[in-house]
Structures are given as C-alpha cells and as structure tokens.
Structure 1
C-alpha cells in the first residue's frame, strides 16, 4: 500500500519556482476529485517523465548554495570545541554505517557453518563460537555507537541551534514595522525558523551525515550480501527477487503520476456543507465564542445546523490528507498487482528448490531468512536515502536563506545626521512640525492623512481630537518614523526627520500607543524596558510604577513585580484531582486540554484593562521622567486614558500636567475633558484632515465641530 503523504509540512510549502499557477488553466493543470476536495496539479515538464530527472534541475542549483554551506561550517567551527564534536559526530555515524555489513558477514559465515554441517555432518565448534560472538559483538557495538553518537550530538546540536537561533533573533529584531509586516518577509523568516522541528543548520548537518552513512550502509550491505550468497544455489537470484518490489516502489515514487506534493499543486473544497461543518466545529471549540454561545441561547440551533451539515456533506466529507490516503488506497493499478506477485516469487522459488534438492532445505531456509531480513533493512535504508536526497536542494536553499535574512533591508531608510545638536535643549522639549503631509498605509487605497499641516513649539501641550479613524494615531506613528510620509515633510527642531539617524530620533521621543502591548515577561521587565539602560534598577522601576499609578495594585499581587503578565513557558501536567486549584504557585486551568491528554496552565495574570494601561503608562514614565540622563524631549500619548476610570484619568493628567514646560507633549483622544482646556493647541480632525485648530476657548467661539462635540459630551454629565 502506497503511503499517501510523507509529511504535513508540504501543505504550506512555498515554491521557489518562477511564474504563476492558475488552477483554471486546463492545458497545464490536471484536476482530480478527492471526495469533497478538488486537487489541481501542474503537469510535469517532459523531462520529468524520465525517472529521476526531476532531481536534475534541483541538483544544478546546488552550486549557488554550496558556498553558504561552507560558510555555515566555518561559523560552526568558530564555536567552542565544535570542530572536535563535529568530526567525532561524523566519524561515529560513518563507523555505525559499516556495522550492519560486518554483522551480515558474520551471519553469512554462520550460514557456511550450517552448509558444512549439512554436507559433512560435522560442526566446527570453534568457528561457530567465533562467528556467534562476532555477530553478538556487532549488535553491542552498534548500540554503543548509537549511544556515544547521541551523547556527542546533544552538546553539538545545542551549540549550533543556539548560535544560529541568535542570528535569526537578531535578524527579526532589527526589522522595522513596514518590513516586518510584509507578507513576503514573513514567509522568508518562517522558512528558516526550523526544518522538521530542528534548526536549519543542525538539520543540514544531520541530513548530510545521515545521507553519507545511509549510502555507505547500502553499498556495504549489498557488497557483503553478494559475497555471502555467491556460492549459494540461486542465492543472488533470490536476493534480486526479494529486492525487486522495493526497487519497483522506488521507481514508482519517481514516476510523474505519483503524489503527494511533488511539483506544484493546490487543493480546495467548494462543498458548502463541509465548509459549514468546519466553521461550526471551530465555533464550538474556540473559547472566545463561548460567552456569546451561552448568552445567545445558540446551542440547540448550532447542534441542529451541524447535524444537517453532516447529513448534506455525505460519506466522502473528510480532511484533505485523509481524502488523499483514501484515494490512493482505493486506486488499484496493474503495477501494484504486479508488485504483489513479485513479493511471492522468492517463496515459490524456494519451494521448487526444496522439492528438487530436499537435502539443501536447511541451508536454503537459512539463506531465505537472511535474504528476507537484509532486503527489509535494504528497503528501509533505500527509502530513507530517497527521502533525504529528495530534500537536499531544498535544505541547501534554506541554509542560503538563513544567511540572507540577516541582510533584509528595512523599508524605512536610516538618516545620517546626528540628533540632537544640543542635548540640554532637548530636555526642555522638541518642536514638531507637519508640512502638507499626505500618507497612505502600505497596500491601502485611501489616504490616512491628507494635507495635514501644524506646528507644536518646544514645551507646549497639543491635543488631537476626533472620531476613531480620523487619523489621530497616524500622526503619532509618522512622528516617530514607523512609516514614512507619502508626500510632504515632517520636521523636528527644524530638521527633516528623514535626514536624522533613526536611533537618535527615537531616543528623543517616547510614545504610548493606543494598541499598546505587554511583553511576555515580568511586570518588572515590562516597566524597566521603557528605558533599557536602567531596566534592572528596581528603585527607578518602582518610581515609574508610582507615577503611572500601578505601584499600589502591583504590590497586592502574590509575586508583586515578579508577576508574569503572560508566562512564555507553560507548565504541563496530567489529569489532577479536582481539588488542586494551584500548581507551582500558579492557577490550574482545567479548560486548557493539551495533546496526549495533558493540560497546561495559561500562566497569565488577571489584571483589568485599566491596570494593564497603567503599566503601559508606567513604562512611558520610566523612559521619559524617571531616568536622570533621559534625552526624551517629545512625549506622544495615543488614547492614554481609554481604559481608565474617571479618578485614575484625573490623577494621570494631573501628573502629566506637572511636566508641562519641560517636555513637548502630544495627546490623541476621542474624549474631550480637562486636558483639552489646558492645551496650548487643539487639532480637531475629521476624515483624515485637520478641520479646526486653536485653543479650547477659541474653538468654542467658532461654534464649529469641536464646539458641537464638546457640548454633546458635556451634556452627558448634566442632570
């Protein structure tokens, strides 16, 4: 029975082949119906119909990738003791590859002892003992080499994975927002993350070492088997017949009609009932929908709908890979029938020889057992060799990508002008000016900002107000150069920000985004990373938490500042007594059932939205206020009080107002309150444009949109 699929990773593979794949092009694409699935396979070029020739193109590409493999080996050699470990690892694997052939030779000698005993009725006991001990010794050596190899592979693999894992970490960390969000870059990064659960570099070493060892193993075993059986009646012929089905399977795998996943292909389902089944199953399994499911009394309707979908989908509604397996299991071909017949030939030949030469039955039986056992091992080794050689080109291409990701150019180019010229002047604030700025997000068709112009002088407070989606947050993102303007100019202290060194510009600006995030680290680290040079200073971290309004509730937590907002490593455990509420000091989550019947703690804190926002504000204070040598002159706040209650909001703005005059501050908000009355300049935005600007009292006198919204919000608090 043919294996329908050798690895699930193939389903998401991105081909490096040029051009396009169009399932509707019937001249180049073959369509196959697999249950509820439609499989579309690109017709193979004529050359690929020659067995093995599909590998030719891949082998021709190795030349471009080999220099990267040599570079990888040099990098590995630069690690502590890695050359010694690498040589030892390769030597052990090569030595291991010869052991089966030696064992086969000893087994062959035992066969000669049997033949001699049959012919002369005498047994050379000394030879029998030596051969038996030799065969047992081979098994012991093989097991010993495997153990030593694993002991060498562990530190070697760990060092290699850590080294190249650090390279990949650096490659990801240096990318700006626009570049990192590019789907092509994400695919490039994902392609080098791991290969079959291993790091790319260590996976390449393991693959090539195994490839060499497997090749030697096949060659030596075939050679020894031929030598052992050359004097046996029909021995070589029986060996050939035993291995013929394996060779037939190998050739069949190379044939153009074989699937899975060779060449370019795609699969989809248009069966609405099956799609509904999958959607309803996802709905039920996702805990995020549970509240609406229960509150909306949906269970009965969902169950009825699912049963109806199951009925309509029919008997052939199954997962894609299950459908593929069913397809190949049911597709009986003459070639398979022929292979089944071939597998019986050795037994038939043996039976005929046994009738003709009954005195040779013991020897023939021992020969047949030896041949059958060797052929099984040969089949396994051949399949492994085929599998590994089939991925050589892909593996080497991945090594090349591993080095290329470290040089992915950022799409926001760095400037070369140092900033600021006067560090003391920055501490008193930065002047920010927008001149006729237009901006459109990557991939968007509409402008997020249109002809936006304003100026916030040094040390002043600016509040940007308007509805959601009006462009408030975009102004803050452009000020710190997360994106570059489509047209127009942004200046800080009179200098175009595109000419300034990005590191210097971002060091002088502190920003709290509306969609702020918290790192999967402790509360201490979440606050401390607001100012990396002082990230381990507990006194400054505590002061920042106090200014941000977080110190009080953090001190009430069991682990205080050591509390993890989201523990990056989960605990794993089996079913526990229901009375077990905590484990390792953390709550047990019985709803999170893991694989193999195991469950794991979510290890997340249960802080409210307001508390999480206070931590984000504390991180901002850590950088802009607490640090004595802070070079921050511009503070940007995007909806800083969105999750705060009125009291917490009042306290936050009170602390921020104390900074007025020593920092330039820009707030964006959709709520009008005390902050707008204290602002030096208010920008009212609507539909990506600034429609009104001025002080609070000036805008009220205009009786425009600002005054209208102010009145609407004020009426909500009037009796």
Structure 2
C-alpha cells in the first residue's frame, strides 16, 4: 500500500476518483462548478458591501447606503439558496457514486475465479476497507470539491481585501494556517491507519456477535452455555477497537484545541491592531468592519480549506483500498503463452487426465496431493474414496479450477485446464460440494440457481427435484415451490404474518442441493461429493438408485465414505495421504485385499453388528444400506 499513499500515489488516486465521479454522474458533478464560484465570492461581497454601507451611513450618503443594502439583500438571498442547491446536487452525486463504486467492486470480486483470495486474511481486511469506500466517504474529493472551490475563491478574494487593509496581517494569517494544514494531514493519516489496524478486530467482534444472535449457532450456544464466553470475546475485541478510537480522539482533541487557540490569538491581535489604527485616524469605521470581516472570513476559509484537504487526504487513503482490489489480476489467469483456441470448450470426448499433480494451499503448509496420476475416461463412472484428509475434496477443487496445481497438469481432452477460462470449464460441469450452501430463498430458487437460464422454468426445476427425491418434500411445503426457506426473510409480495418461512432438516437441505446440481443434466462431468451423507439408509438407497440411472453413460466422479455406494463404479480410486495407492473395480480391489478391501470389510461388519444387536428392523435397514450400490 505504500506506493498508493505517497504524494504520487495520492495524485493518481485523485485522478482515478475524479474519473470515477465523471463516469458516475458527469453533469451533476459539473453543476457544482458555477455554484462553487458564486458561493466563494459571497463572503468578499458581504465584506465590501458592509464597508460601503457603514461608510455611506457615516457620511450621510443615503442613496449609496440604500444601494449597498440592496446588494446585501441579494447576497443574503444567494447565501440562503446556494447551500440548498449544493446539498441537493451533493446528495444525488453521493447516491450515484455509491451505486457506481459498489457495482464496480462487487463486479470485480465476482470475477475472482479461484478461492485463494477469500482465504487470505490480509485480503479479507482489504476487501472490508474497500467496501467502506462509498459515495459518502469519497464526497471530500467529489461532491465536496465545490466546497473546497468555494473556500479557495473566498480565501483569495478575502485575502485581496485584507492585503489592501493590512498586508502584514494577511501574511500572519497565512503563516498561521501552515501548522493547521500539517496537523490535519497527520490526523487524517492516523484515522485511516486506525481503521485499517482495527479491521481484523472488527471482523472478530462481528463474528462473535453473529454467533450469539443468529439461528445457525443457537443450538450449540445454548447447549454448551457459550453465551457469556462468546460475549466476553466480543467485548474484548470491542474494548480493543474503542481503545484505539479513544487514543485517536484524545490526539484529535489536543491538536484541534491548540489550533483553535492559535486562531483566536491571531484574530485577537488583528483586532487590537485595527482598533489602534482607527484611534490614530488611519482607518475609517467601514475599514474596521471590513477588516474584522476579512480576518474572520480568511480564517474561516483557511480552516474550511484545510479541513477539506484533510478529509480529501483521508478519502484518498480509503479509496486506495478500493483501487487496490479492483486492480488485482485474475487469481487463476491463463498461463503465459498458453492458448487453448477460440470458441467455447467442446464436449468431453476422450477424458480428463491428471499428470503428476502436486498441490498445497500455501508454501508453509504440507502437500495435500503428491504426484497424482489419474485418467477419467469420458462416459465412465469413477469413485474416489479415502480417509479424511486424504485429498479428495482438494482434487475436486482442482478439477473445478478453483486452484491450479503447483506441479503437473490437468487436461480436458488434451487441453490443459490452465488454458481454459474457468467460466467455460464450469459451464460443462454439475457439482455437488460436501459443504453445499443453504440459501435464504424460495424452494424453487434454491434449485433453480443451479442453472440460472432455467431459474424460471418450473418444469425443469420440478424434474430435477424428482430426480433428487425432493419433489414430494417441496410439494408438501405451505406454498409448495414458492415457500421461503428462511426465518429471516419472507417471500416477495406476501403477507409476512400469513407466509412464515420454513426451516428444513439437514437431509432435506441435501436433497435440494442435489436437485440444484442435477438441474444441469446436459453437462459433461458430474461431480458428487458425499451426496448422501445427511440421509438415512432408506433415503440413501433411493438416491443412489436414481443416481445410478442418471449417471449411466455420463462422465461422473463420486466421492463417498460409504463404500457400499461406490461399489458399482467403473473405477474406484483410493487416495491415501495425497497419493493414489489403489484403483480398479470393486471386485478387483476386494481380490487385492488392500486398504479398500479392509475398509469395506470393516464397514460391512459394522452393519452386520448393528443388525444382529438391533433386531429384525435393523437387519432390514442393514440389507437395504448394503444393497444401496
């Protein structure tokens, strides 16, 4: 960030901010200019017209006094109207800038194709700072530029007046403004640094607060009595944040008090001087009035201008976080010189191949995948099994190109995935992740977002629900497919009291997530990561029976800890500590009597023991589960 906060960096941020402002609302921004010029001339006009009025009255020139009073009337009208016009334009500019900045930031973040950016705490803090750069925070360098322009024009015009009346006093007032400017720039940098330093603490404070107040954690918080524990963590972070704010506030108060005292001393010295000059006959009563107004006006304009500069400096420092995010390169960009060719990714014909794939999430972490070699033929079903931490989910993330391998390659019909735009690749896939999302949307939307082009195609949505065994569940909800699956929101256009949201069980949510995946029925690659982990034995049997029929002739990768669900796959691949140790059909692996056979035997014995100890109904469930493949 240092290159963005130096003098050259801030000038560049200013250009980018003005360019953004022009892109968001060009004519509204331009409309500030004439208002700023007019408003800037008002203090000077007031000072001179007041002088003319006082001198005309003192000398008995009634006509001149009336003219001066008329001029003050016009200036007074302008003083009343111009701030309202400026505020109106400023508010509209703020709204349009807010829209523009939010749209650009979220568009850029939405284009991040990988996952590494969302796993970097430093970038998360930078994103949070960037999200705070809104139309409101940028006003000092956009809408408030009119205010700065007004202060500059007022300052120059009043300085000209002060130079005529007392050149020495004009120089003294300008010199007194230097420490004010230095202090404001110092304080503005301290404010931004404080916000950046407390960003992680604010995230933690919000996290603990959410655990206490949100439904997702309510059961365990109450079961384990975590309320006071989490509250203590939350208040500890809040105390740290407030301590930093309090320290900055003390500095701010001390500096501002000193600057105010300096301003009062300068103004008081000027007043004593002009009174002595008037007593000596060197100035008229009108000169005294004009001098006092000019000194006060110059100081006010200087304080306002210095404040404008300080706020603009702070706004540009905040804006630098916004630009640092929107200028980030693609996190899964194509390789240098790697070009797959024009047009969309063709349908899978031969297969997907992993060659000597090595991967770890960070250089400080151990390898998750170690020299994996695997070929997934087109039209075949491959099952991936292994203990927790073996690398199964990581391999899926690489196939989806959320990450690129550190070594080796993954190819689609010979095309290296690093040469394929991620959006094209993912358009050819249907994927159910083990950690699938539950959306606070309607049941139909929870399924339909799996293929946005089919979101409003109720027939396709219903078909996917039937395939996932979710149709009866959804059809039985209070509003069927239009039921809101949330206790936070209500369906659009519905009476909140008559249409309460519905909360599903874990297994029911899994059926909807599966339906969301199966909505992409025409994709080339189907990846299912633990598709039945939350289901009971009967539901698991029904789901896998449907999936076997659906996967017939489709290239598919199935991950499951329940080995009975994978036994009919064309190829079963065993991962152990990031390496493939076995692969083959169920019969081949059982005959080999390796780790797969041992795991399968242990699971089968577990079912048999449960069946023999629980009686006939359990035996039926055991048979059902064992035959699920």
Give the TM-score category using the shorter length: 0.7 to 0.9
Structure 2: runs of 5 or more not aligned: 614-629
2:297 to 365, 370, 374: 374
Secondary structure of 1:658 counterpart: helix
Paired residues of 1:418 and 1:501 also in contact (CA < 8 A): no
Paired residues of 1:430 and 1:634 also in contact (CA < 8 A): no
Q: Aligned equivalents of 2:490 and 2:177: distance in 1?
A: 44
Q: What is residue 516 of structure 1 aligned with on the other side?
A: 436
Q: What is residue 514 of structure 2 aligned with on the other side?
A: 617
Q: What is residue 223 of structure 1 aligned with on the other side?
A: 160
Normalised by the length of structure 2, the TM-score is 0.75
1:135 to 72, 80, 86: 72
Q: What is residue 545 of structure 2 aligned with on the other side?
A: 654
Paired residues of 2:163 and 2:170 also in contact (CA < 8 A): no
Secondary structure of 2:393 counterpart: helix
Q: What is residue 383 of structure 1 aligned with on the other side?
A: 306
Q: What is residue 544 of structure 1 aligned with on the other side?
A: 464
**1:472 Cα deviation (Å)?**
0.8
**1:177 Cα deviation (Å)?**
0.5
Q: RMSD of the TM alignment (CA)?
A: 5.2
* Residue pairs, 1:39-54, within 5 angstroms: none
Q: What is residue 51 of structure 1 aligned with on the other side?
A: none
- Pick closer, same or farther for the CA change 1:297–1:550 going to 2, 3 Å: closer
Normalised by the length of structure 1, the TM-score is 0.67
Paired residues of 1:459 and 1:664 also in contact (CA < 8 A): yes
**1:332 Cα deviation (Å)?**
12
Is the deviation greater in 207-216 or in 664-673?
A: 207-216
- Pick closer, same or farther for the CA change 1:682–1:473 going to 2, 3 Å: same
Q: What is residue 110 of structure 1 aligned with on the other side?
A: 53
Paired residues of 1:418 and 1:500 also in contact (CA < 8 A): no
Paired residues of 1:430 and 1:633 also in contact (CA < 8 A): no
Q: Aligned equivalents of 1:344 and 1:570: distance in 2?
A: 64
Secondary structure of 2:31 counterpart: helix
**1:615 Cα deviation (Å)?**
2.3
Q: Aligned equivalents of 1:139 and 1:483: distance in 2?
A: 65
* Residue pairs, 1:471-486, within 5 angstroms: 471-486=391-406
Matched, 1:644 2:535: yes
Q: What is residue 15 of structure 1 aligned with on the other side?
A: 2
Q: What is residue 96 of structure 1 aligned with on the other side?
A: 39
Q: Aligned equivalents of 1:463 and 1:331: distance in 2?
A: 68
Matched, 1:670 2:619: no
Q: Aligned equivalents of 2:308 and 2:556: distance in 1?
A: 65
- Pick closer, same or farther for the CA change 1:152–1:560 going to 2, 3 Å: farther
Q: Aligned equivalents of 1:65 and 1:306: distance in 2?
A: 35
Paired residues of 1:419 and 1:505 also in contact (CA < 8 A): no
**1:635 Cα deviation (Å)?**
0.4
Paired residues of 1:438 and 1:487 also in contact (CA < 8 A): yes
Q: Aligned equivalents of 2:185 and 2:35: distance in 1?
A: 39
**1:160 Cα deviation (Å)?**
5.4
* Residue pairs, 1:68-467, within 5 angstroms: 76=23, 84-114=27-57, 116=58, 122=60, 124=62, 126-153=63-90, 158=95, 162-163=99-100, 165-178=102-115, 180-181=117-118, 183=120, 193=131, 195=133, 197-198=135-136, 204-224=141-161, 230=165, 244=173, 248=176, 250-254=178-182, 261=189, 286-287=211-212, 294-296=222-224, 319-326=243-250, 342=266, 344-345=268-269, 370=293, 373-374=296-297, 377-387=300-310, 390=313, 404-405=327-328, 408=330, 410-413=332-335, 415-417=339-341, 423=347, 426=348, 431-467=351-387
Q: Aligned equivalents of 1:149 and 1:247: distance in 2?
A: 31
Q: Aligned equivalents of 1:91 and 1:257: distance in 2?
A: 28
Matched, 1:711 2:601: yes
Structure 1 or 2: larger helix share?
2
